[in-house]
Amino acid sequence: MMTRPNAGASTRPATGPALPPLGEAPPTERMALGPPPSAEPTILVKLPHVVEPDAPAAAGEREGKPGLRTRILQSLRGYSSVRTRVLAAMLVLSALGLLLAGATAYALQRNDLNSEMDESLARSFQELETLLATGIDPDTLEPFVEADQLVYLLMQRTLTQPNEGMMAVRGDQVIFFANEEVDVRLEDDPELVNYVTDVAPPDQVTIQSVSTAFTDYRVLVAPVMLANDTQPTFFVLGFDAEAEHQQLNRTFGTYALISFATLALIGVVGFLLVGKLLDPIRRVRTTAQRITDTDLSQRIEVTGNDDLSDLTRTVNAMLDRLEGSFTSQRQLLDDVGHELRTPITIVQGHLELQDSSDPRDVQAVRDIALDELDRMRLLVDDLVTLAGIAGPNFVRPEPVNLGRLTDDVMDKARTLGARRWIIDSRAEAIAVLDPRRITQAWLQLVANSVKFTEEGTTIAIGSRKDDDGAWLWVRDEGTGIAREDQKRIFDRFERGPSSKRTEGAGLGLTIVSAITEAHGGAVELRSAPGQGSTFTMAIPSLPLGSTPTTAEEERP
């Protein structure tokens, strides 16, 4: 808020004319208001005040170079890192935010300051209106007959504010001015005096911005003409607008320095913060550089729980899949080279040693070759199955009726050997699994039991379903498996101690384990020598469930 310090009473210059004697005079008259004679717009005090806008920006500021920012960004994009680009974006956005906030605050403060100057000038004019309305000099109680008397009294009563001055002009000369305690000397600016005498309308009260070589003013020019006057006397009250704006400019100059310091702090903190945030990406790059076609064991350390940590987990999962795929391929090649070499050697050796003139020897070699080729075909089928484990479509789960699946497996199993076939339990429930793969694994377990049991012994299958998952098993009364061999028999090309080479390649239980694990489960084994074996495929957490039946069914 502006204050009104006491600047002292206005004084009459020594060289100015003396006031006419007071006496009887006709009533005072106010100047009739009308349109200004000049084309320059004026603002009437009686009308709502309109604050003139600040000076427009320079042409160089208004006109930007089109495409310059785009070209700079394009040139920097190829030579800067992600860290630099992110930091630059942060600084640009911060600078724009500070600039927008500062410019808005500056414009609002400048507008308020201009409004306060106009309101102060308007209040001073109200004192003039009061004197004109009464028409009586309160000191002499006589009517005003000349404008000089009224303006002189008005200047005595007007207390100027800091950066405010006043004067009275008649004709082309200054007749009154403020005392020496007032810093703003309007009478010392000839351009302002010329504006009052030559430009300001003689019959219109105006508030205008006037720029001279000295400074910029915001002035009230009020022409006063009474009954005995031949020409108006101008009461001029004005602010040094440039001085008024200096404090505001200094304030926002300080704001600009603080903004630069803030941007520097944002740059330092942002550089460290962006580097910390991008650290997982650098670890991904470093790990990827260490990975080779012979070593896929490298993994990225996961820290935090955000988008970048999710990216790290995704990359690690991708590496797991790649390692599994490459391992499966290498193992397939190793298996093919290892297992196919033996039947090929056997066939080649018999063909080289056979007596082509002996029909019995030819027939014997033919039988051996066909048998080895048949075993090779089965081996290739098993290897192809194992090679497809890492594929995305190895299992295709769908809702399956476990009871019906149990019956179907039993119908297929009974043709594998002369055994006493039993269903221990039949689950009347729906489970989500791949029926083709589960049937393949189930029948593989059945075939394995047939190989290690005698005719007439019992082989039972069963299924059960509860909230924890589904269990599918095969139980037999065979030779059993020692504890030290129970884990080993699930490895590739491993066979039990009582098995024969021609009875299989040792991939059956490996396939069963792979199919179960593809469903998220595992194969459980309960066995002891001489007590038979029970193989159970545990399929976890299925969405639908019901209570299984436990009635024992015997099939002929």
DSSP notation for 299-368: -PPP-SSSHHHHHHHHHHHHHHHHHHHHHHHHHHHHHHHHHTHHHHHHHHHHHHH--TT-HHHHHHHHHH
3-state secondary structure of 67: coil
Q: Which residues have a Cβ under 8 Å from the Cβ of 410 and sit 6 or more positions away?
A: 421, 423, 461, 555
Closest CA to 522 of 479, 464, 473, 485: 473
Maximum pairwise Cα distance, the chain: 167
Rounded to the nearest angstrom, the gap between the alpha carbon of residue 16 and the centroid of all alpha carbons in its chain is 75
Nearest-angstrom CA–CA distance, 29 and 132: 8
Q: Which residues have a Cβ under 8 Å from the Cβ of 488 and sit 6 or more positions away?
A: 494
Tokens 């093919």: give the residue.
336
Q: What pLDDT is recorded for position 507?
A: 72
User: Are the C-beta atoms of residues 205 and 33 closer than 8 Å to each other?
Assistant: yes
Q: Which residues have a Cβ under 8 Å from the Cβ of 129 and sit 6 or more positions away?
A: none
Q: Which residues have a Cβ under 8 Å from the Cβ of 7 and sit 6 or more positions away?
A: 159, 160, 178, 179, 181, 182
3-state secondary structure of 224: strand
CA atoms within 13 A on the CB side of 47: 11
Q: Is 350 exposed, middle or buried (0-12, 13-18, 19+ CB in 10 A)?
A: middle
Nearest-angstrom CA–CA distance, 529 and 509: 18
Task: State the alpha helices, DSSP H only, in 175-306.
Answer: 190-194, 241-277, 279-290
3-state secondary structure labels for all residues of 506-533: CCHHHHHHHHHHHCCCEEEEEECCCCCE
**Strand pairing category for 458-466 and 420-423:** parallel
Tokens 């004197």: give the residue.
131
Strand order in the sheet with 420-423: 522-527, 533-540, 469-476, 458-466, 420-423, 553-554
Nearest-angstrom CA–CA distance, 507 and 492: 5
Q: What is the DSSP string of 116-147?
A: HHHHHHHHHHHHHHHHHHH-B-TTT--B--SH
* pLDDT, one tens digit for every residue, the chain (556 residues): 333 333 333 333 333 333 333 233 333 333 333 333 333 333 333 323 333 444 444 444 444 444 666 666 555 554 457 788 888 888 899 999 989 998 998 888 888 888 888 888 888 887 777 777 777 767 677 777 777 878 888 888 888 888 888 898 888 888 888 888 888 898 888 888 888 888 888 888 888 888 888 888 888 898 888 877 778 888 888 888 888 888 888 888 888 999 999 999 988 888 888 888 777 777 777 777 777 666 777 777 777 777 777 877 888 888 887 777 777 677 666 666 666 776 788 788 888 888 888 888 888 888 888 877 876 776 677 677 766 665 667 788 889 999 999 999 998 888 888 899 999 999 888 888 888 889 888 988 998 889 888 888 999 999 998 888 899 999 998 888 887 777 777 776 555 555 443 354 567 788 888 888 888 899 888 888 888 899 999 988 655 433 334 334 444 3
Tokens of 106: 């500056």
Q: What pLDDT is recorded for position 459?
A: 92
